[in-house]
């Protein structure tokens, strides 16, 4: 295993993201080599003191895993083929009949996995609550609750949860607290510092940062929990490949400069939208002047907004931008525009979606590192196309967006 630089602990976040993984111990290569091998030569039969087989451990993946543990302030980092593969591995810890409390605003694919895989297949019950009030979490806990699962900021409404009081509730009730830190990244907030037991990532997003690969991660301070998860990582086998590990290691080195620029652009875009006559509501952490929880460094790079138009009009809007690319995913250097109701959150039944505020008028932006004036001009142009269509949304609107399955 590569040795960690013990001094890295003293460094500031901007330094850590660049220096959290060591030079290659074999050759001194500054960029960790891609150890593109399935298997390794053993010194003797049954000798498992070094690398054996890439599903169990690989040096490139190991460099990424130790960098992630370092950045999140954990002891064990594990990486997977995607964020949802990491999520599934957490559910390997649970048994039939166990109960999970989850935040009510989550990535649509997480909700699909909870409700359409774990609930029916393994009889795991899930209760969704608004965790902005930790008492809602406490009230939902039963003697069968083993796991509390939250995102903060949430997707797509960018709600903020204070992690520490929720961790108090889970500790008292002997449940694990898992925090999906995909939107904030360890550069903005470190959930383990506030009492979370587990951090989950879709590395696909800000960590990799270039919309060119998929990956997922689990990080914990608890070595026993880490070893159980490491067992499932190997036994179930949805591991991250060496090349993807390398791409994500490369991405992480620029995390701080990317996210600083994205947050600066996002704030400029949010302030512009706030004043625009066509915009009903803007969602951006801290825009309302309320201090950010969990010592968040900035509000991050995601902005959502609502317009009071029906699906056809909103479709015109999201197809009228030139810079903002209509696409799933987020966190890359290029700006993307997304319509949650028909895209990232289409797997959630319409009635449930509406209950949580994900209506046809909601648009989510992933802000890139372009010039913010160009981004604002682009949105201004698209909003003009919207006002030409003049069809207001009604809750009972027959012409709702199609509920096709998202990626």
Ligand X SMILES: *Cc1c(COP(=O)(O)O)cnc(C)c1O
Looking at 159, 205, 258, 261, which residue binds ligand X (CB under 6 A)? Answer: 205
Interacting span for ligand X (CB under 6 A) from 8-16, 60-68, 176-184, 238-246: 176-184
Element (H, E) at 386: helix 372-389
E strand or H helix at 389: helix 372-389
**Window of 31-39, 65-73, 180-188, 247-255 that interacts with ligand X by CB under 6 A:** 180-188
d(CA 191, CA 176): 13
Task: Confirm whether 172 is a catalytic residue.
Answer: no
According to CB under 6 A, which one of 60, 145, 155, 211 is a site residue for ligand X? Answer: 155
Q: Which of 71, 84, 248, 365 binds ligand X (CB under 6 A)?
A: 84
Q: Which stretch binds ligand X (CB under 6 A): 5-13, 201-209, 302-310, 376-384?
A: 201-209
205 is a catalytic site residue: yes
DSSP assignment of 287-337 equals TTSPPPSTT-SS--SEEEEEES--HHHHHHHHHH-SSSEE-S---SSS-EE
Q: Which of 107, 161, 187, 356 is catalytic?
A: 107
| Binding span for ligand X by CB under 6 A among 17-25, 200-208, 238-246, 370-378 | 200-208
Selected from 82, 262, 335, 342, the binder of ligand X by CB under 6 A is: 82
Residue 204 binds to ligand X (criterion: CB under 6 A):
yes
| CA dist., res. 271 & res. 276, Å (int) | 9
Catalytic residue among 55, 250, 253, 297: 55
Calculate helix-pair angle for 223-236, 83-91, nearest 10 degrees. Answer: 110
From CA 308, how far away is CA 34, in angstroms rounded? 50
Angle in degrees, CA 305, 85, 63, rounded to 5: 100
Nearer to ligand X, 278 or 334 (CB): 334
Judge contact between 338 and 330, C-beta under 8 A: yes
Separation of alpha carbons 344 and 340, rounded Å: 5
The yes or no reply on residue 356 touching ligand X (CB under 6 A) is no
Under a CB-based contact definition with an 8 Å cutoff, are residues 208 and 216 in contact?
Answer: no
Which CB sits closer to ligand X, 79 or 320? 79
CB-nearer residue toward ligand X: 286 or 300: 300
Residue 307 β-bridge partners: 279
Interaction between residue 359 and ligand X (CB under 6 A):
no
181 binds ligand X per the rule CB under 6 A: no
Provide the edge-to-edge strand list for the sheet that holds 325-326. 279-283, 302-307, 362-366, 336-338, 325-326
Examine residue 149 and tell whether it contacts ligand X (CB under 6 A): no
* Bond prior to 382 in cis (omega within 30° of 0): no
DSSP notation for 36-73 = --SB---SSTT--SS--BTTT--HHHHHHHHHHHHHHT
Does 180 participate in binding ligand X (rule CB under 6 A)?
Answer: yes
Taking residues 95 to 134 in sequence order and writing x for each that binds ligand X by CB under 6 A, - otherwise, the string is: ------------x-xx------------------------
180 is catalytic: yes
Q: Does 202 bind ligand X (CB under 6 A)?
A: yes
Comparison of 76 and 111: residue with beta carbon closer to ligand X: 111
Nearer to ligand X, 2 or 242 (CB): 242
Q: Is 128 a catalytic residue?
A: no
Residues that bind ligand X (CB under 6 A): 82-84, 107, 109-110, 151, 155, 180, 182-183, 202, 204-205, 214, 216
* Residues taking part in catalysis: 55, 107, 180, 205
């Amino acid at each position: 295993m590569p040795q960690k630089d013990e001094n890295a602990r003293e460094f500031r976040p901007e330094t850590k993201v660049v220096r959290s993984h060591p030079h290659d111990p074999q050759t001194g290569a500054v960029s960790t080599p891609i150890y593109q091998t399935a298997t390794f030569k053993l010194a003797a039969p049954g000798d498992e003191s070094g690398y054996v087989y890439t599903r169990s451990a690989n040096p490139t993946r190991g460099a990424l895993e130790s960098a992630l543990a370092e950045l999140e302030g954990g002891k064990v980092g594990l990486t997977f083929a995607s964020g949802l593969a990491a999520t599934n591995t957490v559910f390997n810890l649970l048994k039939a009949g166990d109960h999970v409390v989850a935040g009510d605003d989550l990535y649509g694919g997480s909700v699909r996995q909870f409700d359409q895989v774990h609930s029916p297949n393994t009889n795991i019950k899930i209760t969704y609550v608004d965790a902005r009030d930790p008492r809602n979490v406490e009230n939902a806990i039963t003697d069968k609750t083993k796991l509390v699962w939250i995102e903060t900021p949430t997707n797509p409404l960018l709600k903020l949860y204070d992690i520490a009081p929720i961790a108090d509730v889970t500790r008292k009730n002997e449940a694990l607290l898992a925090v999906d830190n995909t939107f904030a990244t360890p550069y903005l907030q470190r959930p383990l510092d506030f009492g979370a037991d587990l951090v989950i990532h879709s590395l696909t997003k800000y960590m990799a940062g270039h919309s060119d690969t998929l990956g997922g991660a689990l990080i914990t301070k608890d070595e026993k929990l880490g070893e159980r998860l490491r067992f499932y990582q190997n036994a179930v086998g949805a591991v991250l490949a060496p090349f993807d590990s390398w791409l994500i290691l490369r991405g992480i080195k620029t995390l701080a400069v990317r996210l600083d620029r994205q947050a600066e652009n996002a704030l400029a875009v949010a302030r512009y939208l706030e004043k625009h006559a066509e915009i009903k509501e803007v969602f951006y952490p801290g825009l309302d002047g309320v201090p950010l929880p969990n010592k968040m460094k900035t509000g991050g790079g995601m902005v959502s907004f609502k317009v009071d138009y029906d699906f056809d009009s909103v479709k015109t809007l999201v197809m009228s931008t030139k810079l903002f690319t209509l696409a799933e995913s987020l966190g890359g250097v290029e700006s993307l525009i997304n319509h949650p109701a028909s895209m990232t959150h289409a797997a959630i039944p319409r009635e449930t979606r509406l209950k949580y505020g994900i209506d046809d008028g909601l648009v989510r932006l992933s802000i890139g590192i372009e010039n913010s004036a160009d981004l604002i001009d682009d949105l201004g142009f698209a909003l003009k196309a919207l006002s030409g269509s003049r069809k207001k949304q009604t809750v009972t609107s027959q012409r709702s967006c199609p509920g096709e399955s998202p990626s």
